[in-house]
Amino acid sequence: MKTLRQIIPSANLRIALLLAVLTGSILIVYQGMNFPTMRLSDSAAYYTSSKILLRGDTRSRIYDDKWFLEKSRAFGIRETTGIFYVNPPLASAMYLPVASLDPFTAKVAWNLVSVASLLFLWLRSRDLIGAPSGPGYDLLLLILMTWSIPLLRNLQRGQVYVVMLLLVMTFYRGYTGNRPWLSATSLAILILLKYFGWLFLLLHALERRWKDLAKTVALTVAGLIVSMSVLGTQVYIHHIERLTEAFHTAEIASSHLPCVPALMGTLIGYQENSNPGPRSLPLASLLTLISLAGAVLFTFRQGNEIYSPERKYRFFALLVLSIMFTPLASDHHYVMLSIPLFVYVSSLEWEGVRFWRLPAIALLTYLLIGWFPSPASYPWELLRTYSPFLPLSGAIALWFALVSRAQVVGHGKSIQSNPY
Note whether 147 and 256 are same-domain residues.
no
Domain range spanning residue 70? 1-122+132-157
CB atoms within 10 A of CB 26: 11
**Residue 186: band (very low, low, confident or very high) from pLDDT cuts 50, 70, 90:** very high
pTM: 0.90
In this model, does residue 260 exceed pLDDT 70? yes
pLDDT at residue number 304 = 55
pLDDT at residue number 415 = 42
Mean pLDDT over 29-39 rounds to 73
Distance CA 48, CA 54 (A): 10
Note whether 257 and 137 are same-domain residues.
no
- The chain-wide mean pLDDT, for the chain, equals 85
In this model, does residue 66 exceed pLDDT 70? yes
In a domain, 392, yes or no: yes
Distance CA 385, CA 273 (A): 15
Strand residue runs (E) in 266-402: none
In a domain, 331, yes or no: yes
In a domain, 223, yes or no: no
Distance CA 291, CA 167 (A): 26
In a domain, 205, yes or no: no
Q: Which of 244, 247, 243, 242 is nearest to 265 (CA)?
A: 247
pLDDT at residue number 17 = 77
Distance CA 307, CA 121 (A): 24
In a domain, 270, yes or no: yes
In a domain, 265, yes or no: yes
Question: What is the Rg, in whole angstroms, of the alpha carbon atoms belonging to the chain?
Answer: 22
- The answer to whether 236 touches 307, Cβ cutoff 8 Å, is no
**Residue 235: band (very low, low, confident or very high) from pLDDT cuts 50, 70, 90:** very high
Instruction: Check the CA dihedral 191-330-60-52 and report its sign.
Output: positive
Note whether 149 and 263 are same-domain residues.
no
pLDDT at residue number 251 = 75
**Residue 11: band (very low, low, confident or very high) from pLDDT cuts 50, 70, 90:** low
pLDDT at residue number 352 = 63
Please state the φ and ψ torsions of residue 57, each to the nearest 5 degrees.
-70, 180
In this model, does residue 274 exceed pLDDT 60? no
Distance CA 123, CA 121 (A): 6
**36-45, 91-100, 150-159: segment of lowest average pLDDT:** 36-45
Distance CA 217, CA 223 (A): 10
Identify the residue with better confidence: 289 or 18: 289
**Residue 307: band (very low, low, confident or very high) from pLDDT cuts 50, 70, 90:** low
Q: Which of 162, 139, 159, 160 is nearest to 25 (CA)?
A: 139
Identify the residue with better confidence: 109 or 251: 109
Distance CA 200, CA 174 (A): 13
- The answer to whether 302 touches 410, Cβ cutoff 8 Å, is yes
**58-67, 298-307, 367-376, 385-394: segment of lowest average pLDDT:** 298-307
Identify the residue with better confidence: 150 or 245: 150
Q: Is 100 exposed, middle or buried (0-12, 13-18, 19+ CB in 10 A)?
A: exposed
Note whether 13 and 148 are same-domain residues.
yes
Distance CA 284, CA 292 (A): 12
* DSSP-derived secondary structure letter, 132: P
In a domain, 197, yes or no: no
**Residue 305: band (very low, low, confident or very high) from pLDDT cuts 50, 70, 90:** low
Note whether 4 and 153 are same-domain residues.
yes
Mind listing the pLDDT tens digit for each residue in 370-393? Answer: 999 888 888 888 888 899 999 999
**30-39, 75-84, 113-122, 156-165: segment of lowest average pLDDT:** 30-39
**61-75, 213-227, 331-345: segment of lowest average pLDDT:** 61-75
pLDDT at residue number 410 = 64
Q: Which residues contact 83 (CB under 8 A, 6 or more apart)?
A: 45, 65, 68, 69
Distance CA 142, CA 119 (A): 9
Distance CA 187, CA 219 (A): 9
In a domain, 117, yes or no: yes
- Can you list the alpha helix ranges (DSSP code H) found in 232-280? 233-248, 260-267
**Total domains in the fold of the chain:** 2
